Amino acid sequence: MSRVAMMLALVLFAVLAWQSLRKQGSTEAVSPADLLQEISRSGDSQLVQPIPQVLDLDPRKLALGERLFREPRLSGKGFSCNTCHPLESGGMDGLPRSLTIHGGRDQMNTPTLFNAAFYPYLQWRADQPDLAAQLDAVIANPLHMASSWSAVEESLRKDPGYRQAFREIYDSEPTRSRIKDALVTFEQSLITPDSDFDRWLRGDEKALTEQQQRGFGLFRRYGCSSCHQGINLGGNLVARYGVFGSAFNHRELPLNEFDQGRLRVTGNNADRFLFRVPGLRNVAVTAPYFHDGSVASLEEAVGHMGHVQLGVDIPVEDRADIAAFLRSLTGEYRGRRL
């Protein structure tokens, strides 16, 4: 069984089990110690865990990688990685559908790059295995960078500053593999630790408000945590968007090619409407939501998920509590809250 097929099987099992989870679950406050004991008993260390506070990465590569991340010469047309993934605003552009390099609109919403290093695969359709492969796809994509690694190499080699930096770090001219290595190293550093939820997980029982703790209980009780799990609270599974009926009835735009999900990757009709489950880290600052950017608010997103993924109408007060919990997932980058 392939990795994606295995992840889908886990999601389907979770959907079948969610009603049982609701009966067993509780909205009462749970302490970090109780939660960690529960995880230990279940044997599932991936259920939930805090973002690490520090990663051991080469500071020279980080500096060069950040320079490259903000370098419009990667496209040769004014676009840099930071154009669509601005680090000053949540690691995504905030648009329902991203601008293309030609000034039009893409078919999908830009995901945030923060904490992307913790995902087992990337992009909405889970079609890139890691950050290096993602860079290959973006550079060549005619809507995004519309370039090639040979063109990037040629451009950077004309810059004495880049030539010197690559010689000092890699003892080499700028090459595809070295450029990717510096960029990936920097992208790995884009973590956002020390959210209120992380501080709560580390033992600070006052880090979450009563409403946020109640929201976390509801998040687990309704079965949200069956798919939104692991260090990023999501991103490690693929799931059918619209388990209980169409997931697109709420929007006016007709279906497009990207809405078909993994079908366009595999050609298998069984993969229609399959998408990577989005991670929920920093979700409060990365609106609008879903692959099509069709939902503007957290509360609306929670209600939409209840209807199309769980087959339940989540009451307004429960949506507010869950949204309050989700706001506790906003972390810090370079010591500042996103």
Specify whether domain 59-188 bears CATH 1.10.10.10: no
**274-276/336-337 β-pairing:** unpaired
3-53+193-337 and 59-188 in the same fold: yes
Domains of the chain by residue range: 3-53+193-337, 59-188
The string over 260-292, giving b where at least 16 C-beta atoms fall within 10 Å of a residue's C-beta and e elsewhere, is bbbbeebeeeebbbbbbbbbbbbbbbbbbbbbb
pLDDT tens per residue across span 276-299: 999 999 999 999 999 999 999 999
Q: What is the mean pLDDT of residues 306-328?
A: 97
Contacts of 293 (CB under 8 A, 6+ apart): 95, 96, 97, 108, 109
Taking the C-alpha atoms of residue 226 and residue 320, their distance in angstroms, rounded to an integer, is 20
Q: Which stretch of 12-26, 64-78, 293-307 has the lowest confidence by average pLDDT?
A: 12-26
Work out the pLDDT band at 16, boundaries 50, 70, 90: very low
Of the pLDDT bands very low, low, confident and very high (cuts 50, 70, 90), residue 21 is very low
CATH superfamily of 3-53+193-337: Cytochrome c-like domain (1.10.760.10)
pLDDT of residue 48: 81
CB atoms < 10 A from the CB of 201, how many? Answer: 18
- Average of pLDDT values for 168-197? 98
pLDDT band at 17 (very low <50, low <70, confident <90, very high): very low
Whether the predicted pLDDT of 158 surpasses 70: yes
Q: Is the pLDDT of residue 41 over 80?
A: no
What digits encode the pLDDT tens for the residues 263-274? 999 999 999 999
The pLDDT tens digits for 202-215 are 999 999 999 999 99
pLDDT band at residue 234 under the 50/70/90 scheme: very high
Mean pLDDT, all residues of the chain? 89
pLDDT of residue 10: 44
pLDDT at position 120 over 60: yes
Q: Are 331 and 134 in contact (CB under 8 A)?
A: no
Instruction: Return the higher-pLDDT residue of 226 and 308.
Output: 308
C-alpha to C-alpha distance for 227 and 222, rounded to whole angstroms: 11
* Lowest-confidence segment of 27-31, 165-169, 223-227, 319-323 by average pLDDT: 27-31
Indicate whether 37 pLDDT > 90: no
